[in-house]
Structure 1
């Protein structure tokens, strides 16, 4: 019998060795995909490594556990509300800031917020805290700054401004968590014009 001349190793496609920023971005993309498909509770370092096409050691060289990896993945993939341009016009700036949240919700197809919803009832609340710290809370701060700078709100008590700043993010978050389709621009405009403007007495 003639020995096979085929070399399985030679026939297998060569695996591209990625390093540095390229590998990190592949890992971050895998984190988001695993959140979408399996949820936070079932996400593991092993599943992310497999989805990214790399070994677990590549992850553990960078992060001690999945929580640290998730923090960096969010920092590396989510936009920064501080980068939203401010014009000084109250309506324009409110629409822009809620548009920031809209883009996060739409671009991740609700991944982050579905992960938060699936964590309801657990002891840690890690994802709820993470999403709030990196997305929702910074947006509320910027919205409050816009409202407090508005001439129509000069006499509004600080506590009332705090509550007003929560309304828009709460409405968009609720829409996302309840499984609605992508948030349209018209909905963002209505939240500002129909809800915030009337509540603020503008």
Structure 2
């Protein structure tokens, strides 16, 4: 029986799974568009129609595995919501995601188009991501003055988590609590 041609979400899911498998097997440096296409049982042309290269594929895979606003439970407090969000991020971290971050970071230094793409994705997360959901809840509950929600504050917690991962190779619960209690909450006026 012939395999049905996949399209849309099914094809994208197969491609993202293939990217993760290739990252686990070959690391960022060894990942190729051809290997992803072969593993996803599609063509390189299909991949290049959606993504300009391996870095964009990895960004798509990282984005798919990042928590969304819907993944963040409403604990009733800004502190509780931030801790839950950062713990969700920490639970999803693996050696391959750290390797992918390092690979992307190195490649952005050489490729201004990729640097622009990474900046665009981070900006998109900053204004539409789970931190915004958490902060909007806090504003509705009266915990935070909306005037304090600068773009820097909205990206601070994810930036600090990313820094911990890149510098130390892990994000501990102690670091999560410190980020929330010693940095984000004071800057949010709490």
- Answer whether TM exceeds 0.5 for this pair: yes
What is the root-mean-square deviation of aligned Cα atoms in Å?
Answer: 3.7
Correspondence for 2:161: 172
The answer to whether 1:64 aligns with 2:49 is: yes
Structure with bigger gyration radius: 1
Question: 1:98 touches 1:188 (CA, 8 Å); kept in 2?
Answer: yes
Question: 2:164 touches 2:170 (CA, 8 Å); kept in 1?
Answer: no
Gaps of 5+ in 2: none
**Higher helix proportion, which one?**
2
Figure out how many residues of one structure are paired with residues of the other and give that number. 179
Question: 2:98 touches 2:169 (CA, 8 Å); kept in 1?
Answer: no
The CA deviation string for residues 125-173 of structure 1, in whole angstroms up to 9 with x for no partner, is 255146415655513322431442353434xx62x32233332112111
Q: Which whole-Å CA distance do the structure 2 matches of 1:105 and 1:130 have between them? A: 22
1:53 and 1:100, CA in 2 relative to 1: closer, same or farther beyond 3 A?
Answer: closer
Query: How far did 1:28 drift?
Result: 1.9
Question: 2:77 touches 2:138 (CA, 8 Å); kept in 1?
Answer: no
TM-score normalised according to structure 1 size: 0.65
| 2:149 aligned counterpart, secondary structure | helix
Q: Which whole-Å CA distance do the structure 1 matches of 2:22 and 2:80 have between them? A: 36
TM-score normalised according to structure 2 size: 0.68
The CA deviation string for residues 172-195 of structure 1, in whole angstroms up to 9 with x for no partner, is 1111232x2321222212211222
1:129 and 1:63, CA in 2 relative to 1: closer, same or farther beyond 3 A?
Answer: same
Correspondence for 1:123: 112
